[in-house]
Structure 1
Amino acid sequence: MIDNDYREVDTDEKNVSDVEETKEGTPVETGEVVTDDSTEDNEKTDDFDEFCAMCRRPASKAGKLIHVAPNMAICQDCMQKTFDTMGQMPGIPGLGDINIGDMLSSGKMPNIQFVNMSDLPFGNQQKVKKKKPKEKKKEEPVLDIRKIPAPHKIKASLDDYVVGQDYAKKVMSVAVYNHYKRVAAGTEANADGVEIEKSNMLMVGPTGCGKTYLVKTLAKLLDVPLAIADATSLTEAGYIGDDIESVLSKLLTAADNDVEKAERGIVFIDEIDKLAKKKNATQRDVSGESVQQGMLKLLEGAEVEVPIGATSKNAMVPMTTIDTSNILFICGGAFPGLEDIIKERLNEHASIGFQADLKDKYDKEENLLRQVTTEDIRKFGMIPEFIGRLPILFSLDALSEDMLVQILKEPKNAIIKQYQKLLAMDEVKLEFDDGALRAIAKRAKEKNVGARALRSIIEEFMLDIMYEIPKDDNIGAVTITEAYIEKTGGPLIQMRGTPELEDKSGTN
């Protein structure tokens, strides 16, 4: 055990003060793990934090550690659990009544003789290097109703990043505006007996249409904590998988463990359609209907106990209480097969007679999800109680070829702009002609996975360019042509100092 009264003696007064000042520092979050080389510098400074040999928690989180050997330390919780376990063993009566706190204060261990732990080969004790304490940020003011951007301003900001989906952006802007007015008003809104309900949202749209990107952009613009959870990993409490409260743990982490800040955040639960009830299921549906029922209290508003810094309640971490009344929940999913349910509803009264519609009338309707209703969602497998807590239902349109061209070049974070920035670091100018953009969009449309196909297609034909261009410092500009996308030609290469372009198909 290292003596706490130990003090380094140095003729240089400045070094002595530095050592004493370091010892007074408070424990902070743990960082990289380093192996103790038994050097004097590591033992005499507080730049490192020790582990508990049993639960592996650092001293900054577990509290004061008990050194049972030079290379072994145990936290008070694990030591108390050890005594409790030994007290239940036959032949060792009374050990379970020992309190580790009293034992530490008295400095005595009654009727206990320990083995010399220093003789056991535990190896080197690992330590955690402490992070430098972060500068304290100025306390953020409580949400001010006068500073909430108006719906048209929220939509205008979304237009800079998201192409199309005007109806969806309009709905989200109004819902978010009303929600944060409700949060900012607080108890004043209830003085006249009128209580504003939450405006949770359910968005339906095909894959790759921008559901997650919309929510990410919205949270970034509002500067509020955002947690994105995947519903496929959620299960009922007591089964293998993430508990329902784990979505709040992610939100708390995004808010830097600030409960008050987390209670004003946004939770986006993706793949919500995977929670649909299983049809003709003969066993308990622990990852479907049961999760829907467990989420009811979160969506409506309740005080939930959440572990800090972990997603499991079984971890030895402290718990905190989060009130979900002011947390905005947005659920999204592709809902595959929902189009067939909508077609069935629309064709119910149009099968017989001179004025009857053809049954295949809606087969080629690309944006059939626009006509979705809560009844269609219920038939899909979502329980009525769950749908009722998501009052705002809207759909996103499938991406057309023109929209894919816009996605390539118009948003602030467009894919083409990303590659242009990469090549600009090599002092090379990258350009795409209109035919190339149209060819990329056409190929992406054929893959039927939305905007996600754009990245994979561009990665394919940009591989050779990104590989070859750094070889030649004389290249000044590259133009991607339609022929290069169709694999019938090459890009146009312009050398530095020459105004004309020459076809250099050997690059590919």
Structure 2
Amino acid sequence: MSNLTPREIVSELDKFIIGQSDAKRMVAIAMRNRWRRQQLPPELRDEIAPKNIIMMGPTGVGKTEIARRLAKLAGCPFFKVEATKFTEVGYVGRDVESMVRDLMEIGINLVRKEEMEKVKVKAEKHAEDALLDILLPSSKPKQAGMGFFNPAAPEEQEEQPSADQSSTREKFRKMWREGKLDDREVEIEVSVQGGGVEIMSMPGMEDMGMQVNDMIGKMFPNKKKMRKVKIREAYDILIQQESDKLIDMDNVAELARERVEQGGILFLDEIDKIAGNQEGGGSANVSREGVQRDLLPVVEGCVVNTKYGMVKTDHILFISAGAFSYAKPSDLIPELQGRFPLRVELTSLDKDDFYRILTEPQNALTVQYKALLETENLTIDFSREALEEVALNAQKFNEETENIGARRLYTIMEKILSDLSFEAPDRSGDSIVIDKEYVQEQLQDVTEDRDLSRYIL
């Protein structure tokens, strides 16, 4: 990601997201600015704040997908949260700082996975040896410092496994690698969390409850118990155990904190829902402005306490999104508006966009449904006219009922393919072409009855 130019970032996003070129350009610039900041001298680097973004547009046009794909492309910690889950301090609901703690957890998992990949080869070798020790305890080679010293027989301290034992061990190693031992069961020692005490947290205080439970868990050492499992499963458990021994979790936490602070992305969805009183006031809206004021220091830059240490939010990139159909960005408190200098409006989708969504992306719905039904040995294909009819119906239903964007394609495709999905096991070996007439037949009842379409599509 560090070597990708804005043009290359947009090109990567084009593989999964149709249209919305302005939004793609803006997030590409924001990501490139992060790389540019890292090239600056430290004294100037710390002065440059991230260019936070507000994406405006109706639901289902790609706001969340752009942020999610961008984070995946960058390989950086990414967390999505709905702003409506937060409440002002003093009310029942989530504390805004909890999203930073959640982001840190994601960062830890991300770095830990990378570190495990680095030691994978060594962990596999150690796991294989440990597995052979379980299968052939008598062939386990003696290690320095193990056993008791017998001064009467010092030559026994250098005793090695006999030739027969070594030969048997290598035979078992070969059989294991060829998969001949996979179905055999062995007993293996595994760790289980000690203590067994769990504190039930009050509503709105789940984060505190998790921290208390974690603290209590550390007070009680993990217990060991024996489990009888198949050798293949035992091997996976041993790889996990050996990887944990090879990884320095303190180093993982340090790397994760640095990555979260310098490259983390927090996606605040439905931010328009806390932007003023949409319905003209009422007790349900009492904490909206309070949530904004609680968000302000986190977006502005503060230090949040997590179980892995203190995390600074000064350079975390905040991408917010909302339909803004009732409210507008200017309804946010002025201080928060100033922390989101970049604004971009995403356009509604039309028939041509829907057709491209069905055909162009690598993860297009048509590709997904073909792959799902091929698991039942049922081959389906879509004619161009059929997909154009689907796109036309998606546009029509969005106009006549509620505009839910590209999500309408999911409901329509499920309606069209429901019979085939049900009958697939009985039609193994068939090859079916879905044409325009088939689509019209499957959608006939909902297209003719507008009230029915509101419930089904």
TM-score (norm 1): 0.54
2:44 matched residue in structure 1: 190
Distance 1:486 1:459 in 2: 14
Describe the superposition over 1:466-495 as per-residue Cα deviations: whole angstroms up to 9, x where unpaired: 2213213341x11111111111799xxxxx
1:456 matched residue in structure 2: 411
Change (3 A) 1:488 1:463: closer
Q: 1:199 aligned to 2:188?
A: no
Shift of 1:241: 0.4
Describe the superposition over 1:314-352 as per-residue Cα deviations: whole angstroms up to 9, x where unpaired: xxxxx73110012110000011135xxxxxxxxxxxxxx
2:377 matched residue in structure 1: 427
Distance 1:282 1:421 in 2: 49
Whether contact under 8 Å (1:215, 1:268) holds in the other structure is: yes
Whether contact under 8 Å (2:68, 2:78) holds in the other structure is: yes
Distance 2:3 2:301 in 1: 22
Shift of 1:152: 0.6
SS of residue paired to 1:147: coil
Residue among 394, 415, 421 paired with 1:466: 421
Shift of 1:230: 0.6
Describe the superposition over 1:186-228 as per-residue Cα deviations: whole angstroms up to 9, x where unpaired: 653518xx93232111110111101001111000011001000
Distance 1:409 1:481 in 2: 15
1:167 matched residue in structure 2: 22
Distance 1:474 1:282 in 2: 60
Distance 2:353 2:443 in 1: 26
Distance 2:94 2:285 in 1: 15
1:278 matched residue in structure 2: 277
Q: 1:405 aligned to 2:355?
A: yes
Residue among 359, 383, 386 paired with 2:336: 386
State how 1:300-315 maps to structure 2 within 5 Å: 300-306=300-306, 308=307
Whether contact under 8 Å (2:79, 2:99) holds in the other structure is: yes
Aligned length in residues: 291
Describe the superposition over 1:139-196 as per-residue Cα deviations: whole angstroms up to 9, x where unpaired: xxxxxxx9341101100000011011111111110111113422x24653518xx932
2:147 matched residue in structure 1: none
Larger radius of gyration: 1
SS of residue paired to 2:71: helix
Change (3 A) 1:428 1:286: same
2:7 matched residue in structure 1: 152
SS of residue paired to 2:441: coil
Q: 1:337 aligned to 2:296?
A: no
Residue among 226, 229, 234 paired with 2:86: 234
Distance 2:351 2:267 in 1: 28
1:442 matched residue in structure 2: 392
Distance 2:428 2:275 in 1: 57
CA RMSD of aligned residues (A): 2.3
Distance 2:91 2:100 in 1: 18
Change (3 A) 1:414 1:282: closer
Structure 2: 5+ residue stretches without partners: 109-252, 445-457
SS of residue paired to 2:310: strand
Change (3 A) 1:172 1:219: same
Describe the superposition over 1:6-54 as per-residue Cα deviations: whole angstroms up to 9, x where unpaired: xxxxxxxxxxxxxxxxxxxxxxxxxxxxxxxxxxxxxxxxxxxxxxxxx
Whether contact under 8 Å (1:198, 1:300) holds in the other structure is: no
Change (3 A) 1:205 1:470: same
Shift of 1:457: 0.8
Describe the superposition over 1:34-81 as per-residue Cα deviations: whole angstroms up to 9, x where unpaired: xxxxxxxxxxxxxxxxxxxxxxxxxxxxxxxxxxxxxxxxxxxxxxxx
Change (3 A) 1:305 1:202: same
Change (3 A) 1:436 1:287: farther
Distance 2:289 2:297 in 1: 14
2:298 matched residue in structure 1: 298
SS of residue paired to 1:176: helix
Residue among 361, 371, 377 paired with 2:329: 377
TM-score (norm 2): 0.60
More deviation in 280-289 or 201-210?
280-289
The structure that is helix-richer by fraction is: 2
Residue among 426, 435, 441 paired with 1:481: 435
Describe the superposition over 1:110-138 as per-residue Cα deviations: whole angstroms up to 9, x where unpaired: xxxxxxxxxxxxxxxxxxxxxxxxxxxxx
Change (3 A) 1:408 1:382: same
Whether contact under 8 Å (2:377, 2:429) holds in the other structure is: no
Whether contact under 8 Å (1:444, 1:454) holds in the other structure is: yes
2:313 matched residue in structure 1: 324
Distance 1:414 1:466 in 2: 18
- Percent identity of paired positions between Structure 1 and Structure 2: 35
Distance 1:276 1:472 in 2: 53
Q: Which has the higher contact order (CA 8 A, sep 6+)?
A: 2
Whether contact under 8 Å (2:17, 2:66) holds in the other structure is: yes
State how 1:28-427 maps to structure 2 within 5 Å: 147-182=2-37, 184-185=38-39, 187-188=41-42, 190=44, 195-256=47-108, 258-263=256-261, 264-278=263-277, 281=281, 286-306=286-306, 308=307, 320-337=309-326, 377-378=329-330, 381-427=331-377
Q: Which amino acid aligns with 1:229?
A: V
Distance 1:287 1:236 in 2: 5
SS of residue paired to 2:314: helix
Whether contact under 8 Å (1:179, 1:199) holds in the other structure is: no
State how 1:10-25 maps to structure 2 within 5 Å: none
